[in-house]
Structure 1
Amino acid sequence: MRHGNDYRKLGRTSSHRKALLKNLSIALIKYEKIETGLFKSKELQSFIEKLITQAKAGDSNAHRQVFAKLQDKIATKKLILEIAPRYTQRNGGYTSIHRTALRRGDAAPMAIIEFVK
């Protein structure tokens, strides 16, 4: 049974999973819309929404906290200065996931994750 298991392991070690979420987050911040596997996008949604909530403060401490998770100066700057200010009046729900087709090679469900306008 899956009682008390809070996250998807995605078939990876903890360090690989952390790197995957970091890289997907950077790509989402850079392009504001990406297509990936459905379960990866659901994990990414939880990860990026916590980052946006931290970034909404906009102070130097928020900058440090976001950079500690992303390890990318350009993505951190864009998240704090451009993306997070859009959602100052919003309490969560910063991203949306739309299912797309099944992947041709292995029939895995694919999804597009993007920031809410």
Structure 2
Amino acid sequence: MIVIVGIGGGIGAIFRYALGNFVNKKVKTNFPFGTFVINILGSFILGFINHLYLDKSLSTTMWLFIGVGILGGFTTFSTFGYESIQLLVAKKYKTALSYIILSTIISICSAYIGFHIFR
């Protein structure tokens, strides 16, 4: 199972890198949209995958591969923390506060919607 999670994590990290770069090239701003989009999307998908797993529609192996591996490698709380600190150090307080509040609230809402959308 460790290998399955590791492979999934590598895939998720590649997706995170690619999507983050794509979004950041398209949206030029101080707001870290790449990480923001990744965490919102990842939260939504994780909510959905969690629902499938709890509903017994997804095997434990697939839960570990997708939920723990891919989405664990895709979403990035540590980058969220780092970018928040960077904004604060740069004295971009409004942007930092917006990023912290919006990321937290919308990620939780996305996970909730992902969990309940196909019930």
Answer whether TM exceeds 0.5 for this pair.
no
Q: Which has the higher helix share?
A: 2
TM-score, normalisation: structure 1? 0.34
TM-score, normalisation: structure 2? 0.34
More contact order relative to length (CA 8 Å, sep ≥ 6):
2
Q: Which has the higher strand share?
A: 1
